[in-house]
């Protein structure tokens, strides 16, 4: 049965079907095989509906909607201008500004693909004009968007939290340390690149210009204050913070900045609805698939064949990291989380690993895989947005992937990179 399920899914993927079809087909084959026919399909429907029932999932369309509103308005450009005003003049400052802008927009949107669009669109022409090679620019934008998957709010962490039953609030704050460490490494590399290629620096902003940039960015900076301050100040749950972000985004773009009218709001809501529908179909199908593989004890067979029961905590973490990294090189991150988390959950519990640490490592590996050839989804987002060939988009990625994997290894051996702020915030 195992080979029938996974074989069918692989064939459908190779034939070009969207991921929801292989997931549903695999679940259907599993239910028919397990229960000897189509008599238990009502159970499959129950599992699909149960998968999208958790209230925490409401945060996903809310954050997507807020990010879409900001991308179409002025919030993203004002955040970019703020970073440029303070570091644009140093060697490699434009590249550092790009990585910093991705981090700041990640603290607003939680979406890697939204970050590629919002930050890459305005900054890539500036970097080309400044003398950076396009392969470096594309790799920087694609991989810096990974920071958006770690800095709260993170859609990946919400999905992991729902599937694993882990506190989303704790996951959010645990992502801050690794996200800032990645930003530091990317900034150092950008400086070295600019020195080696003799990239000219930009004119230094005056303090009045910096003050103006700060004032212009004060409204958009309210987003991380709402998300982080609201959640850890006990004012909002993560779901309520997402709803507050939507209201705040509408207030900024429709009333303060007057950038969006009702017509643009309708098209934005329609776009968000389409993305949300795809995400929720994947989540529901993933829940049914997880039920099948759990009922059939497929995880025990797979993990037993690689001897994971005899591994310690480090071995389990490395195995999880490799599985998620490789999985997201080929498949959508949400699908990988939905399939793999239930497989590894029993082992994580048995060896006594902190689920928040595991969730942070998984989120990082998912983000890395999303920007890694051959089929990382952020690569194809960049191809669509910038209209550049595949080879050019991936040519400059190896140094960035190396830095990201370095952070992943550091997280395994030095978990306090992620857990220090969590322990501080929750008195653990």
Q: In this predicted model, what pLDDT tens digit does every residue of 34-68 receive, in sequence order? A: 777 776 778 888 888 888 888 778 888 888 888 88
What are the backbone dihedrals phi and psi of residue 258, each rounded to the nearest 5 degrees, phi first? 55, 45
- Of 83, 124, 123, nearest to 107 (Cα)? 83
How far apart, in whole angstroms, are the C-alpha atoms of residue 63 and residue 114? 11
- In b/e form, how buried is each residue of 225-250, taking b as 16+ CB within 10 angstroms? ebbbebbbeeebbbbbbbbbbbebbb
Contact between 223 and 231 (Cβ < 8 Å): no
pLDDT digits (tens, 9 = 90+) for 284-325: 887 888 788 777 776 666 666 677 767 888 989 999 998 888
Residue 9 tokens, joined: 């899914």
Residue matched to tokens 């509408």: 250
Instruction: Give per-residue pLDDT as tens, 110-166.
Output: 677 778 877 887 888 888 888 899 999 999 988 888 888 888 888 888 889 988 889
Out of 85-94, 236-245, 376-385, 407-416, give the one with best mean pLDDT. Answer: 407-416
Q: Which of 213, 130, 148 is nearest to 186 (CA)?
A: 148
Q: Which token pair is 141? A: 């934008």
Has residue 106 got a pLDDT over 90? no
Q: Token pair of 231, please? A: 């959640």
- Show Cβ contacts of residue 116 under 8 Å, excluding neighbours closer than 6 positions: 141, 142, 145, 378, 381, 382, 385
To which residue do tokens 């983000």 refer? Answer: 367
CB neighbourhood size of 314 (10 A): 11
3-state secondary structure of 199: coil
CA dist 344 and 293 (Å) reads 12
CA distance 415 to 79: 31
Q: How far is CA 214 from the centre of its chain?
A: 27
Which pLDDT score is estimated for 377?
73
C-alpha dihedral, 265 to 271 to 276 to 278, nearest 10°: 170
C-alpha pair distances (Å), 141 with each of 43, 103, 393, 412: 44, 11, 10, 26
Cβ atoms within 10 Å of 184's Cβ, excluding its own:
13
Cα-based angle 15, 20, 23 (whole degrees, multiple of 5) = 85
Six token digits for residue 122? 């305005």
Which pLDDT score is estimated for 375?
Answer: 66
- pLDDT tens digit sequence for 214-225: 999 899 888 888
Place 277 in a pLDDT band, splitting at 50, 70 and 90: confident
**Terminal Cα-to-Cα distance of the chain (whole angstroms):** 44
Average pLDDT over residues 337-350: 85
**Of 248, 234, 239, 237, the residue nearest 155 (C-alpha):** 239
pLDDT band with cut points at 50, 70 and 90 for residue 362: very high
Distance CA 363, CA 144 (A): 14
Residue found by looking up tokens 């501080």 in the block = 424
Instruction: Answer whether 26's CB lies under 8 Å from 289's CB.
Output: yes
Q: How far apart are CA 382 and CA 372, in angstroms?
A: 12
* 340-371: burial string, b at 16+ Cβ within 10 Å, e else: bbbbbbebbeebebbbbbbbbbbbbbbbbbbb
Round to whole Å and give the CA distance between 176 and 160.
Answer: 16
CB 97 within 8 A of CB 123: yes
Nearest alpha-carbon partner for 138 in 385, 306, 314:
385
Structure tokens at 256: 């303060």
């Amino acid at each position: 049965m195992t080979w029938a399920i996974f074989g069918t899914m692989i064939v459908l993927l190779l034939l070009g079907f969207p991921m929801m079809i292989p997931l549903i087909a695999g679940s259907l084959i599993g239910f028919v095989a397990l229960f000897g026919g189509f008599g238990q399909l009502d159970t499959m429907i129950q599992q699909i509906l149960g998968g999208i029932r958790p209230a925490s999932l409401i945060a996903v369309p809310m954050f997507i909607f807020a990010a879409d509103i900001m991308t179409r308005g002025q919030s993203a450009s004002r955040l970019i201008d703020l970073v440029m005003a303070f570091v644009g003049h140093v060697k490699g400052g434009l590249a550092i500004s790009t990585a910093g802008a991705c981090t700041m927009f990640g603290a607003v949107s939680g979406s890697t693909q939204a970050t590629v669009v919002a930050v890459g669109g305005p900054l890539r022409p500036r970097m080309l004009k400044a003398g950076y090679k396009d392969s470096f620019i594309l790799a920087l934008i694609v991989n810096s968007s990974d920071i958006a998957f770690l800095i709260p709010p993170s859609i990946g962490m919400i999905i992991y939290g729902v599937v694993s039953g882990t506190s989303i609030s704790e996951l959010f704050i645990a992502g801050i340390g690794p996200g800032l460490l990645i930003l530091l490494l990317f900034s150092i590399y950008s400086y070295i690149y600019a020195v080696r290629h003799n990239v000219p620096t930009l004119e230094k902003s005056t303090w009045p210009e910096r003050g103006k940039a700060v004032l212009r960015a004060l409204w958009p900076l309210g987003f991380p204050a709402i998300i982080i301050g609201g959640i850890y100040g006990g004012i909002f749950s993560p779901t309520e913070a997402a709803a507050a972000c939507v209201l705040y985004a509408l207030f900024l773009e429709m009333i303060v900045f007057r950038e969006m009218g009702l017509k643009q709001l309708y098209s934005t809501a329609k776009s968000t609805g389409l993305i949300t529908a795809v995400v929720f179909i994947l989540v529901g199908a993933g829940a049914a698939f997880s039920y099948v593989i759990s009922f059939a004890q497929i995880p025990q067979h797979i993990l037993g064949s690689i001897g994971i029961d005899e591994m310690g905590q480090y071995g389990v973490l490395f195995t999880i990291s490799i599985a998620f990294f490789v999985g997201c090189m080929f498949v959508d991150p949400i699908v990988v989380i939905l399939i793999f988390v239930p497989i590894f959950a029993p082992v994580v519990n048995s060896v006594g690993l902190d689920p928040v640490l595991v969730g942070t490592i998984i989120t990082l590996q998912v983000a890395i895989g999303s920007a890694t050839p051959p089929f990382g989804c952020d690569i194809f987002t960049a191809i669509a947005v910038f209209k550049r060939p595949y080879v050019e988009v991936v040519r400059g990625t190896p140094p960035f992937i190396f830095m990201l994997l370095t952070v992943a290894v550091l997280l395994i051996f030095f978990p306090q990179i992620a857990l220090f702020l969590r322990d501080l915030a929750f008195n653990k």
